[in-house]
Structures are given as C-alpha cells and as structure tokens.
Amino acid sequence: MNVMIRIVFLTDSQDLIQEFTVKGHAEYDEAGKDIVCAAVSAIVQTAVIGLTDIAGIKINHVQEDGLLKCSLPQQLNMDQRKASSVILRTMLAGLESIQNGYPNLISIRERKVD
C-alpha cells in the first residue's frame, strides 16, 4: 500500500519549523468515517488555530480538499517564535504518534531551508 498522507516540515538553521504541508487522504475508511484523516486534520487544524488565535501570528495558509499548507511570516518577535515552536513541535509529536500506529498511511519528512 502506498503512503496516502504526506507531511513535509521545512525547518530553519535554528531548527524552528517555518512551513508545513499536509497532502492527501489516508483512505483508511470511507469519507466521514476515516479516523486517520480525522485525527490528522484535528491536530493540524488545532495547530493553525493556536498559531493565529493564541500566538497572534498572521500565518499564510492554503486549505483545499486534501491539502493544507501553512507558512510563518519572516518577522516574528521572540514571544511569537517561542509560541510557534511549541505549537508546531507539539503538532509534529502528535502526527508522529499517529504515524507510529499507521506507518503505511502517513509519511513525515523534515527538510532544512536557509
């Protein structure tokens, strides 16, 4: 079986996540009953809400069926950098937990950017 959900994190030289992309569907079950897709969506959506509503960061994001891409602005103050790091590393930990349970359905990669 091919991996259905692909997640890519772009991190900077300080190992801070600057951008992430989530693509695809798990196809674990039919639409509306797919617990893997629902879990991934809940974690990712919660992180986006945390970045915007809790940390007050004006993120750039695109959301369509089977795609969510989110990037942080270049200029963040120290509090926003700390908050975004905690939120996004927590999201990553949650996604890795799901991946451990369903390794054939989720692929997570981190890439370094300058």
Per-residue pLDDT tens for 37-83? 999 999 999 999 999 999 999 999 999 988 999 999 989 999 999 99
Buried b (16+ CB within 10 A) or exposed e, 66-101: eebebebeeebeeebeebbbebbeebbebbeebbee
- For the chain, the distance separating the N- and C-terminal CA atoms, rounded to the nearest angstrom, is 34
| Domain 5-112 belongs in CATH node 3.30.70.1490 | yes
Q: What is the CA radius of gyration of the chain?
A: 14
Quick check: 1 pLDDT over 60? Answer: no
How many other CB atoms sit within 10 Å of the CB of residue 30?
7
Question: What's the mean pLDDT in 104-113?
Answer: 94
Predicted confidence band of residue 3 (pLDDT cuts 50, 70, 90): low
Per-domain boundaries in the chain: 5-112
Per-residue pLDDT tens for 89-103? 999 999 999 999 999
Structure-model confidence comparison of residues 41 and 3, the more confident one: 41
**Report for 1-5, 11-15, 41-45: range of highest mean pLDDT:** 41-45
